[in-house]
Amino acid sequence: MKRALRIRPTERAQTRAWVRNWQKIGPVLEAWRHESLRGANAAAAIQAFALAYKSARLHLAPRKTSGLVEQQRWFRLGRK
């Protein structure tokens, strides 16, 4: 049978304080995020990303592999 995890009173108090803080600040941060998105200039963002993409294409050599083969090798090693 598993032993129950015992939490010290100070840790419990800290956790409760953390939850209370997030309950207060969470809605404020969510409202701020919505306002930021509402005021975002999508056309400017797309143009900036397009320029960054073009720059990367010009300055970085294409990869020889997607990494999938290497990932599968690691998975295979993990099963052993």
Domain assignment of residue 75, yes or no: no
Domain tally for the chain?
Answer: 1
Domain assignment of residue 72, yes or no: no
C-alpha 21/C-alpha 79 separation (Å) is: 43
C-alpha 72/C-alpha 67 separation (Å) is: 9
Domain assignment of residue 70, yes or no: no
Query: Per-residue b/e over 16-35, b at no fewer than 16 CB within 10 Å?
Result: eeeeeeeeeeeeeeeeeeee
Domain assignment of residue 74, yes or no: no
pTM for the full model? Answer: 0.45
Domain assignment of residue 42, yes or no: yes
Domain assignment of residue 4, yes or no: no
pLDDT of 1: 57
Range of the domain at 15: 9-60
List per-block mean pLDDT (blocks of 10 residues) for the chain, which spans 80 residues. Answer: 78 95 97 93 92 92 85 87
pLDDT of 35: 94
pLDDT of 2: 66
